[in-house]
Structures are given as structure tokens and as C-alpha cells.
Chains A and B, each alone.
Chain A
């Protein structure tokens, strides 16, 4: 027994010594490099709150953008604090407060349910700037240090829709089906504005090049459910849809398309690796421009917009590279042309001359812009011949049912 104890003691001592030495040298290196970086740029501290970690594509998109923006602004790794796996509860408030304690002057949270808790922290610390993606309360809350942001992803979807329309035209020309059979299928998560705005803009983009296009939409009732999304896509394909797109976060729909050999326009990022034969193009939101803008404002002591909406012109909305194997010829040229028009303001996605509601042109529409319990429509959003999406607040509010799109079901999550 004594020998065993001695051996254990010796091993422990050795381990401790190794650990100490390794620690000292590495620690010093890291400090040195950090100090250099800080001296060159800024000593401002920024904090980010993420719902999950880099395993989630949604959060990864934010994390990458945060890194990109911090690198560009010279904020050292030491001065950017990323709190991951923060649930949408009091933990978010505690995380924000902890970031304030650590000296952050800019705090960002990425999930919708974080909003109330971020506001709670914002009220207590007027000297710290708080920014929140996808939220809706900044313009009614009246706090000088609390801000919402989103991006006009509908522009990206419109462009992706053009790629879809081109593909339909190509298939019609090849004699695969008749022009009046050009039906698109769309797998959505829930039947509310963010998704409605998305599928409508996608459809309008497709119809701008393929006038006979129609669309069927079905909802899964979940942001991430691979099985349901796959089943939904299969259902649409068997209904006769010639092309599928989706607004939900799993690989369900793209995989179903690859298996069935049906072209797919994706979302959140390229799915080309998994679907080399059917992936056409994908749109995504790029948050780096917003982070750079907001952090620069804090650094210079300027006010951040209460509602900031990134556009295609600010590079907040991006398309991935086009998969030439699946896309129709000339897709890139058509997208670039439309993109230039969107940028210079000659083209509007929700131009009221391009769609009808119940057979009539839409001249006036009140949208529910201010959050209230009864979902009362409160703001006139049509003027100058188009629906002003994401202008009265950053989060989408286009929820009009236009002609040509059939909803197979609706799902408000209950």
C-alpha cells in the first residue's frame, strides 16, 4: 500500500510540474500577441450573446460575422467576449449584465426571445449600447441605447427566385413539361410575416422571368425538423412541383430534392456539397456590415439607428456562388442585372404592378408594425407604387396573400 501511495504521489507531482511549465510559456505568448494587437487598434470591449454555439448554422453565421467585423475594426480576441448557449430566459439578462461587468460597451444578442431580457439590461445601463437581431420592440420601447436590426433578405430571395424562374424556362424549353405546369413548391416553417415575405419575394422573382409560374406552399411548424421538411418537400414533388425552395434551417428539403432529382434553391448557405446535382443557388444574411457599422458608432460616440435594415447595397444580403451543373444558362447575368436595378432603386421587389390580391391591384395596406397583443394593423406601408418592406421597422411585416400562390396549409405554431 505504501508503494502505491508513493507512486501516485510521484505521478501527481510530475503532472503538476508539466502542467505549470506548459501553462507559463503558452500563457505568456498569448498575452504578448494580444497586447500588440490592442495597442495597434482599440481597447473597446464588445460582447455577443448567442442562442447556441458554432454547431448551429444560424449561430455560426453570426459568429463568423462577429469575427469578421472585429478583425476589420482591430478588436483583439481578448476584447471580444462570446457567450454561447444562452437560453431565451433570465440567463440572457444575466449574460448581458456579466458582459457589462466585464466592461463591454457594445452588446449584441442573436435570438428573437432574447429581446425582453436585453431590454431589461439596457434600461439599467444607459451608457452601454445594446443591439438585437430580428427583434421588433426598439421603435416602440423608446430607449436611446437599444436597437433592432435585420436585413432585407427578401431582396436576396427575389434574386434567388430569378434563378428558379430561369431554370423553369430551361425545363419548359427542353420539353420536360408545358409552360402552364411550371409549379414551384415551397417548404416554410411558420405562416407569419418573415416567411410570407420570403416566399412571396421568391415567387415574384421567379415569375418576373417565367410568367406562367405558380407556387404551392406548405408549413412544417418548426424552424428545424429534418424529417418534417423532407416529407413536406416530397409531398410537394408528388403534387407536381418542378422546383423546390425552403425557409427552414435543416437539410430536409435539399436532401429530398437531391434524391428525387428536382432542382432546389436553398437558404442560409450553400448546400452544394450535399446536393451537387440539384442545388442551384442560395441566399443568406451577412451580419458583418451591421456589426462594423454599430461598433464603429459606439467607438465614435455616434447614435446607432433604432431600426437598421441591411440591404443588398450594404452587402448584408448575399447569394452564394451558382452551381453551373444545375442552374440554367445565363442565370448569373440575369441576377447581376436585377441586382444592379435593386441597388439603384429602379426595381422594387414588392412593386404593386407585379401582383394582385383577389384579382385586384393593392393600393393601400395597413401592416402590424408595432408589437401589440391583438396584432392590430397600424401603419400604411404602400406608397409610390410599392410595398415598403423593412422600412418602418427592420423585421419583416409583409403578410399579404397574393394571387398565384396556394397555401396547402397554415401553421402558426399551435
Chain B
């Protein structure tokens, strides 16, 4: 780039990087996290009277402070990971399934319906079996509706799945009003509290162990499915280019529908675990925005189920820690949201520097 050229030269330009060695990209990520912590510390210092170091130690305490908190952390990781795993095959296919929230809720609603309508009337094992089947089916149906429209009429799946969320939320709210105890309270309360009909079994003394095991199994299966199965290969080809897929004889419509059935089914399992295994009730907030958070988990992990364990851990840790901050320091929830926001901003921002480099237009190039 000669300086003699008359044309105006910008200060820097952005160029796509060749792929970086893994240790280099992880170094960038770690630096990003450290920077994020620094900025949060400064902000804490300026905005409140609290000591930033104690804020971070409180976060760690909130996530790991007691065996109960560790189990809580694991439980939240398990559910969020489950939803993220569900969305991943769709994302990998470049099908933007923003409807995880609704798919989880509908799965949970089907579970709750079985527990309420059939609890005590049929043997418990049969009831649990029906809950499993109906939750998976409900989630799958909720996801396949937009998929069919996409495959047949090429509708916009982002809007469609997004709007299916609201239909799901309204349906839950409708049924909560039908099943509410007492009338007018807007809550169902714990379903089958006395006889525990339809409650998923507890392994030993650990309330959440079953959830953790189920999700671990799903993680491994999803990893194998995406990496080694023919279906997984078809998903990545459709994701890369639909035309290529057509050219090599992949039935794109079939892949879209099949993948969304899978995506919805796994969301349904998340609903089952939430309603049948943990909450034993359903409200419109049962999914707790996990359907949206999962999008970030999946993207941050580059759609790799094993990496997703780490990204889920990070997000859940931030959330638990941030909650503890607002409790211990009596700060408004907004403060922990700000901290979480800063950290996520840096992490997502670091992906930019991993994929691109900035070239300054000086005599020698400085990164």
C-alpha cells in the first residue's frame, strides 16, 4: 500500500482470518473474560460502594457455596443444555428455530395434562410412560408445524417459530386457568402433592441426578448423531448450501422436517424434566427464557455438543452468581443483569477477533 496513492485510505480495515490454532483462539477468549471482569469491577467500583473482589467471590459462592447450590447449578446446566442440544441440529441446518421456549412449554403442558387428568387413574409406570411419549410428541408437533410450512411454502421460519412461542405461552396460560387451585389464584400449585403420581423417580437422595444423567446421555447421542451419522452429514450439507444438497440427491424438505421433529422432541424432553422431574407444576414462566438463552449457548459453542457443556456452564454460572449478588448486596436485579451483559458482550466480541483481524494502515502492521 503505497502512501503516494491519492485515494483516501481508512485508518484500518478488517480482514477474515485464516483459521487460528486452538490455543491462540482460546487465549483470545480468556483475555476477553479477564477484560470483562475488569470492566465489571470498575463499574462496580464507580456505581456502588461494594468491593469488586467480594462481588466476584460472592458470584462463586452463589454457584458453588454449598452442596445444594452445586446441585442447583448442575440442574440448571442440565435443563439449559438440553434445550441448547435441541436447537443445535436445526441451527446447523441454518434453520433458525427461535421457538425453543414454546416447544419446551408445550412439552411441559402435555406432561402436566397427563399428571392432572390421569394421575391416580392408571398405574404410575404407565402414567410416566405416557408422559414421556406425550411430551416428546407435543414438542415435536410444535416444531414440525413451522418446518412443514418452510419445506412446502418456504415461509420464514424465524418469524414462524417465534410466534409459535406466544401461542404456546397463551395455551399454557389458558390451561393454568382451567386447572388453577384455588380458582382465581392463577397458579396450579404442586400437582399430585400427596400421592406423587407421575413424579419422575428420584435416584437416591439426589433430586436432580436423573435430569443430569438424562441430559448427559442426550449430549453424547447428539454429538454422535451430528458427527457420525448420515443424518448429521445431511444436516450440515443442507446448512452449507441447499443447492449442493439438492445436487447430490439429498431430499431437503425431508431433512428439514425430520430435523425439526428431532429438535422439538428434545425440547419436549426438557419440558418433561422441568414439569415431571423438578417443578411438578406448570406456569407460563416454567421455561424461564431458556429457549432464547439456548440460542446463545449453541452459537457460542459453534454447534458442538461437547463445547456446549462449557458454554452452558458459563451462562448458568453467571446467572446463579448474579442472583447471589443481588441477594447479598441487596442490589437491584438490574445490576446483576448489567454484569452478565458486560461479560457476554466481551465473550461474543472475542469471537469477532478470532474470526477477523484488524489491519491498521501504518508503515508496519500492528495487530
Which of chain B's residues have a CB closer than 8 A to the CB of A55? 332-333
**A85-106 Cβ-contact flags toward B at 8 Å (1 or 0):** 1011110001001100100000
- State in angstroms the CA–CA spacing of A184 and B323 once bound together: 45
Q: Judge whether B230 is part of the interface by a CB distance below 8 angstroms.
A: no
- State in angstroms the CA–CA spacing of A115 and B187 once bound together: 10
Which of chain A's residues have a CB closer than 8 A to the CB of B280? 90
Q: Is the CB of A373 within 8 A of B181?
A: yes
Taking a contact as CB atoms closer than 8 A, the residue among B38, B184, B193 that contacts A12 in the complex is B38
Q: Is the CB of A12 within 8 A of B327?
A: no
Q: Judge whether A23 is part of the interface by a CB distance below 8 angstroms.
A: yes
Q: Judge whether B279 is part of the interface by a CB distance below 8 angstroms.
A: yes
Q: Is the CB of A81 within 8 A of B327?
A: yes
- State in angstroms the CA–CA spacing of A89 and B191 once bound together: 11
Q: Judge whether B42 is part of the interface by a CB distance below 8 angstroms.
A: yes
Stretch at the interface among A14-22, A210-218, A305-313: A14-22
- State in angstroms the CA–CA spacing of A194 and B184 once bound together: 10
Which of chain B's residues have a CB closer than 8 A to the CB of A375? 182-183
Which of chain A's residues have a CB closer than 8 A to the CB of B189? 113, 115-116
Taking a contact as CB atoms closer than 8 A, the residue among A90, A190, A414 that contacts B178 in the complex is A414
Q: Judge whether B278 is part of the interface by a CB distance below 8 angstroms.
A: yes
With contacts A83-B327, A90-B279 known, is A112 near B38, CB below 8 A? no
Count chain A residues whose beta carbon lies closer than 8 angstroms to a beta carbon of B: 49
B62 and chain A: residue at smallest CB distance: A98
Q: Is the CB of A116 within 8 A of B182?
A: no
**B277-314 Cβ-contact flags toward A at 8 Å (1 or 0):** 01111010110100000000000000000000000000
With contacts A84-B333, A87-B283 known, is A120 near B190, CB below 8 A? yes
- State in angstroms the CA–CA spacing of A85 and B333 once bound together: 8
Stretch at the interface among B47-55, B130-138, B234-242, B340-348: B47-55
- State in angstroms the CA–CA spacing of A19 and B49 once bound together: 12
Q: Judge whether B359 is part of the interface by a CB distance below 8 angstroms.
A: no
Which of chain B's residues have a CB closer than 8 A to the CB of A81? 327-328
Stretch at the interface among B66-74, B85-93, B257-265: B66-74
Which of chain A's residues have a CB closer than 8 A to the CB of B181? 371, 373
With contacts A19-B52, A54-B332, A371-B182 known, is A101 near B68, CB below 8 A? yes
Q: Is the CB of B184 within 8 A of A190?
A: yes
- In chain B, positions 308-364 with a C-beta closer than 8 Å to chain A are 323, 326-328, 330, 332-333
With contacts A1-B366, A89-B286, A94-B68 known, is A23 near B190, CB below 8 A? no
- State in angstroms the CA–CA spacing of A16 and B186 once bound together: 49
- State in angstroms the CA–CA spacing of A97 and B53 once bound together: 27
Taking a contact as CB atoms closer than 8 A, the residue among B68, B183, B278, B330 that contacts A90 in the complex is B278
Shortest B310–chain A CB gap in Å is 23
A80 and chain B: residue at smallest CB distance: B330
Which of chain A's residues have a CB closer than 8 A to the CB of B278? 90
Q: Is the CB of A26 within 8 A of B51?
A: yes
Q: Is the CB of B51 within 8 A of A23?
A: yes
- State in angstroms the CA–CA spacing of A94 and B65 once bound together: 14
Q: Is the CB of A1 within 8 A of B367?
A: yes
Which of chain A's residues have a CB closer than 8 A to the CB of B187? 88, 112-113
With contacts A23-B51, A23-B53 known, is A112 near B66, CB below 8 A? no
Q: Judge whether A355 is part of the interface by a CB distance below 8 angstroms.
A: no
Which of chain A's residues have a CB closer than 8 A to the CB of B25? none
- State in angstroms the CA–CA spacing of A27 and B50 once bound together: 8
Q: Judge whether A392 is part of the interface by a CB distance below 8 angstroms.
A: no
Taking a contact as CB atoms closer than 8 A, the residue among B38, B177, B326, B366 that contacts A414 in the complex is B177
Q: Judge whether B174 is part of the interface by a CB distance below 8 angstroms.
A: yes
Q: Is the CB of A413 within 8 A of B184?
A: yes
Which of chain A's residues have a CB closer than 8 A to the CB of B190? 116-117, 120
Shortest B109–chain A CB gap in Å is 14
Taking a contact as CB atoms closer than 8 A, the residue among A53, A77, A98, A192 that contacts B332 in the complex is A53
**A336-374 Cβ-contact flags toward B at 8 Å (1 or 0):** 000000000000000000000000000000000001010
Q: Is the CB of B41 within 8 A of A413?
A: no
Q: Judge whether B19 is part of the interface by a CB distance below 8 angstroms.
A: no
With contacts A55-B332, A192-B183, A414-B174 known, is A101 near B66, CB below 8 A? yes
**B169-209 Cβ-contact flags toward A at 8 Å (1 or 0):** 00000100110111111110110010000000000000000
Taking a contact as CB atoms closer than 8 A, the residue among B42, B180, B367 that contacts A15 in the complex is B42
Most A-side CB within 10 Å, residue of B52, B174, B288, B332: B52
Q: Is the CB of A413 within 8 A of B180?
A: yes
Q: Is the CB of A82 within 8 A of B330?
A: yes
Q: Is the CB of A20 within 8 A of B279?
A: no
B178 and chain A: residue at smallest CB distance: A414
A192 and chain B: residue at smallest CB distance: B184
Q: Judge whether A136 is part of the interface by a CB distance below 8 angstroms.
A: yes
Q: Judge whether A177 is part of the interface by a CB distance below 8 angstroms.
A: no
Which of chain B's residues have a CB closer than 8 A to the CB of A15? 38, 41-42
Which of chain B's residues have a CB closer than 8 A to the CB of A112? 185-187
Which of chain B's residues have a CB closer than 8 A to the CB of A190? 184
Most B-side CB within 10 Å, residue of A18, A89, A98: A89
- State in angstroms the CA–CA spacing of A414 and B184 once bound together: 9
- State in angstroms the CA–CA spacing of A371 and B190 once bound together: 14
- State in angstroms the CA–CA spacing of A19 and B50 once bound together: 10
- State in angstroms the CA–CA spacing of A77 and B50 once bound together: 14
Q: Is the CB of B332 within 8 A of A413?
A: no
Q: Judge whether B159 is part of the interface by a CB distance below 8 angstroms.
A: no
A193 and chain B: residue at smallest CB distance: B184
Which of chain B's residues have a CB closer than 8 A to the CB of A24? 51
- State in angstroms the CA–CA spacing of A12 and B51 once bound together: 17
Shortest A394–chain B CB gap in Å is 15
- State in angstroms the CA–CA spacing of A82 and B72 once bound together: 19
Q: Is the CB of A22 within 8 A of B52?
A: yes
Q: Judge whether B167 is part of the interface by a CB distance below 8 angstroms.
A: no
Q: Judge whether A293 is part of the interface by a CB distance below 8 angstroms.
A: no
B190 and chain A: residue at smallest CB distance: A116
B41 and chain A: residue at smallest CB distance: A19
**A112-131 Cβ-contact flags toward B at 8 Å (1 or 0):** 11011100100000000000
Q: Judge whether B34 is part of the interface by a CB distance below 8 angstroms.
A: yes
Q: Is the CB of A85 within 8 A of B68?
A: no
Shortest B88–chain A CB gap in Å is 26
Taking a contact as CB atoms closer than 8 A, the residue among B45, B184, B367 that contacts A412 in the complex is B184
A19-B45, A53-B326, A90-B278 known, 16 other contacts, Cβ within 8 Å: A3-B366, A12-B35, A24-B51, A26-B49, A27-B54, A81-B327, A82-B330, A84-B326, A84-B333, A88-B187, A94-B72, A97-B68, A112-B187, A116-B189, A191-B184, A413-B186
Can you name 5 A-B residue pairings with CB atoms under 8 Å?
Answer: A16-B38, A19-B53, A82-B330, A112-B186, A413-B180
What are the 5 A-B residue pairs with the smallest beta carbon separation, nearest first?
Answer: A23-B51, A192-B184, A113-B187, A414-B177, A23-B53
